[in-house]
Structure 1
Amino acid sequence: MQARDISGGVHLHQRGSVPRTPRQLPGSAAGFVNRRQELKALNTALASGGHPLTVVVGTAGVGKTSLVLRWAHDIRDRFPDGQLYVNLRGYDPGLPITPSRALESFLSALGIPRTEIPSGTDERSALYRSLLAGRRMLVVLDNAATVPQIRPLLPGTPESLVLATSRNRLSGLVARDGAHRITLGLLNEPDAIELLGKVAGGHRPKQDVTRFPELARLCARLPLALSIAAERVASHPWMTLDDLISELHSETARWTALTAEEGEETDAVHTVFSWSYRALPTAAARLFRTLALHPGPDFGSRAATALAPAEPGEVQHWLDILTGAHLLEQHARDRYQFHDLLWSFAMDQARREEAPESRRVLSQRVLLWYLRTADQAQKWINPNEPRVTLDPPDDAPEPIAFDSYAEAVGWYDLERGNLVTATRSAAAAGLLDIAWRLAIVLRAMHMRFNQFDDWITTADLGLKAARRSGNRPAEAELLESLGMAYAQSHDLPRGAEHHQAALEIRRELGDRTGEALSLNDLGLLHLRSHQLNEAKHMLEQARALFDDLQDASWTPVVTANLAEVLAELQQYTTAEDLIHSALASFRAAADAGGEGNALRLLSLSRRGRGDAAGALNAAESAVAISFQHRNQMWEGYWLLELGHAQHLAGSPDDALATYDRAALLQRRIGDRVREALAWKHAADVHHGQGRHDRATELHTRAAEVFQNLGTHWPHATTLACLAEAQYAGGRHASAQDTSTEALRLLAPFTDPTAQAVKARIRALG
Structure 2
Amino acid sequence: MVYQVPPETAHFVDREEEQARAFRAVSEWKGASRPLCLALSGLGGTGKTELAYRLARTLRDRYPDGVLHVDLDDLRRDGAVEVTDALGQLLAALDVEGRWLDRTLRDRSRQYWDRTDGRRLIVLIDNARTAAEVVPLLPASGDSLVIVASHGPLYDLESGSAVELPLAPLADRDATELLRLIVDDPRLVEEPEAVGGLLRLCSGLPAALLVAGRWMRRHRRRPLARLLAELDAQLTDRGLPMIEAVWDAAYRSLDENAALLYRLVPLFPGGSFTAEGAAALLGRGREAADDALDALETAGLLDPRGQRTRLPDLLRAHAERRSREDGDEEERRAAATRAVRWYLRQAQRADLLAAGPRLTLAAPAGPVPGAPDVEFGEGRPSDAHRWLEAERHALHGSVALALRLGLHAECWALGEPLWTHFLDHPHHAETAESFGLAIEAAQRDENPPALVRMRSQLARVHWERGEFDEASEQLTQAQATAALLGDGERDRKLAASVVEFRGTLHGRRGDWQSAAADFAEARRAHRAIDNAYGVLLGTYRLGEALAALGELDRAEELLAQARAGAEERGRERIAARAAFALAGVLRRQGRAAEARPLYEAALAAARARGADWDEARVLRAYADLAEEQGERAEAAQLRAAAQAIEERRGAAAG
TM-score, normalising length from structure 2? Answer: 0.90
> Structure 1 residue 76: deviation in Å?
3.1
The 1-side partners of 2:585 and 2:74 are apart by 54
The 2-side partners of 1:58 and 1:162 are apart by 17
The 2-side partners of 1:292 and 1:209 are apart by 37
1:616–1:423 Cα change, 3 Å: same
Aligned amino acid, residue 364 of structure 1: T
| Matches for 1:508-519 after TM superposition, within 5 Å | 508-510=484-486, 511-519=491-499
User: Could you say what secondary structure the match of 2:424 adopts?
Assistant: coil
User: Could you say what secondary structure the match of 1:201 adopts?
Assistant: coil
TM-score, normalising length from structure 1? Answer: 0.78
The 2-side partners of 1:319 and 1:68 are apart by 26
> Structure 1 residue 58: deviation in Å?
1.2
Contact persistence 1:57–1:168 (CA under 8 A): yes
Contact persistence 2:100–2:651 (CA under 8 A): no
1:577–1:151 Cα change, 3 Å: same
Which residue, 100, 104, 107 being the options, matches 1:116?
Answer: 100
> Structure 1 residue 322: deviation in Å?
0.5
More deviation in 455-464 or 570-579? 570-579
> Structure 1 residue 479: deviation in Å?
0.9
Contact persistence 1:613–1:649 (CA under 8 A): no
Does the alignment pair 1:383 with 2:356? Answer: yes
CA deviation map 1:711-752 (0-9, x unaligned): xxxxxxxxxxxxxxxxxxxxxxxxxxxxxxxxxxxxxxxxxx
Which residue, 424, 438, 442 being the options, matches 1:466?
Answer: 442
* Bigger-Rg structure (1/2): 1
* Residue 439 of structure 1: aligned partner: 415
CA deviation map 1:235-286 (0-9, x unaligned): 1011111111112112212430xx6xxxxxxx11222112221221122111
The 2-side partners of 1:416 and 1:463 are apart by 19
Which residue, 229, 242, 256 being the options, matches 1:246?
Answer: 229
Aligned amino acid, residue 563 of structure 1: G
> Structure 1 residue 411: deviation in Å?
1.5
Contact persistence 2:361–2:450 (CA under 8 A): no
| Matches for 1:207-356 after TM superposition, within 5 Å | 207-256=190-239, 267-333=241-307, 335-356=308-329
* Residue 634 of structure 1: aligned partner: 614
CA deviation map 1:625-663 (0-9, x unaligned): 223333122224444543554455455776677678768
Cα-Cα RMSD: 2.9
More deviation in 390-399 or 607-616? 390-399
The 1-side partners of 2:75 and 2:498 are apart by 42
Contact persistence 1:54–1:179 (CA under 8 A): yes
Which residue, 147, 157, 180 being the options, matches 2:131?
Answer: 147
User: Could you say what secondary structure the match of 1:33 adopts?
Assistant: coil
User: Could you say what secondary structure the match of 1:162 adopts?
Assistant: strand
| Matches for 1:119-138 after TM superposition, within 5 Å | 119-138=103-122
The 2-side partners of 1:216 and 1:550 are apart by 76
Aligned amino acid, residue 423 of structure 1: V
1:77–1:659 Cα change, 3 Å: closer
CA deviation map 1:89-121 (0-9, x unaligned): 289886565443333333333333343333334
* Residue 206 of structure 1: aligned partner: 189
* Residue 100 of structure 1: aligned partner: 84
User: Could you say what secondary structure the match of 1:172 adopts?
Assistant: coil
Contact persistence 1:141–1:164 (CA under 8 A): yes
The 2-side partners of 1:201 and 1:545 are apart by 76
* Residue 36 of structure 1: aligned partner: 16
The 1-side partners of 2:140 and 2:585 are apart by 46
User: Could you say what secondary structure the match of 2:149 adopts?
Assistant: strand
Contact persistence 2:85–2:429 (CA under 8 A): no
Paired residue total: 643
Which residue, 527, 531, 536 being the options, matches 2:516?
Answer: 536
User: Could you say what secondary structure the match of 2:2 adopts?
Assistant: coil
CA deviation map 1:71-91 (0-9, x unaligned): 333333333333222222289
**Unaligned 5+ runs, structure 1:** 1-20, 260-266, 677-765
User: Could you say what secondary structure the match of 2:183 adopts?
Assistant: helix
The 2-side partners of 1:106 and 1:539 are apart by 38
Aligned amino acid, residue 194 of structure 2: R
CA deviation map 1:124-151 (0-9, x unaligned): 4444444444443333222211112211
1:76–1:202 Cα change, 3 Å: farther
1:188–1:535 Cα change, 3 Å: closer
1:50–1:166 Cα change, 3 Å: farther
Contact persistence 1:380–1:404 (CA under 8 A): yes
* Residue 450 of structure 1: aligned partner: 426
Contact persistence 1:447–1:455 (CA under 8 A): no
Aligned amino acid, residue 351 of structure 1: R
1:78–1:255 Cα change, 3 Å: farther
Contact persistence 1:382–1:445 (CA under 8 A): no
* Residue 520 of structure 1: aligned partner: 500
The 2-side partners of 1:406 and 1:90 are apart by 24
Aligned amino acid, residue 410 of structure 1: R
The 1-side partners of 2:427 and 2:150 are apart by 28
Contact persistence 2:276–2:372 (CA under 8 A): no
CA deviation map 1:423-443 (0-9, x unaligned): 122223322212111112211
